[in-house]
Amino acid sequence: MSQLLRYRYYDTPEGQDIFMKTFVMSKYATVTGVTAATYDVLMFSHPTSFSSIAGRYAWYVGPLVGMAAAYSVTANTARNIRGKDDKLNSFLGGAVAGAIFSAWQRAPIIALPAAFFLGMAGVIKKTAIEENYTFFPDVIQASKTVKSVNHDWTLVKDIDELKGWTKGN
């Protein structure tokens, strides 16, 4: 179980550990869905009963988890069927996720654009992984924080000759 929680999507090559990859994608989709649903419940829809709150959460979390699972299963299955590890697999996964997105929004008119854009997002992510590019690099923490009083930021440490000076008359 601990391996399942520590696993990352690109720990193994495409086409392997499909269940673990699907779990990882679904985990991130669940967090995103709960965040979006909480925002919606608190700011917009203001449901009054427990069932309507649960319905709002299900309306966000369900399709997002479905999109994430469809992406990972499709991309990895395409890799296993085609025998090639290329960007087309990621595009196909994104296209399936786009189809689920258009069904979620009940707007068939956006099926093709959503499939294209989410497919391209998959291709961009796959290219970023292959080229060792990070979208969100680690942020270097600022030197002045609440705890910065504990650090000595002077350029020169204390000089014994300058200690004990007085301001004079």
What residues does each domain of the chain span?
2-130
| Cα separation values, 9 from 3, 68, 113, Å | 12, 12, 26
pLDDT 10s per residue in the chain (169 long)?
677 788 888 888 888 999 999 999 999 999 999 999 999 999 999 999 999 999 999 999 999 999 999 999 999 999 999 999 999 999 999 999 999 999 999 999 999 999 999 999 999 999 999 999 988 888 776 666 666 667 666 766 677 776 666 776 6
pLDDT of residue 168: 66
CB 36 within 8 A of CB 67: no
CB 43 within 8 A of CB 75: no
pLDDT of residue 61: 97
pLDDT of residue 23: 93
Report the sign of the C-alpha dihedral through residues 29, 31, 32, 33, in that order.
positive
The closest of 66, 61, 120 to 92, measured between CA atoms, is: 120
29 CB neighbour count, 10 Å cutoff = 22
pLDDT of residue 125: 92
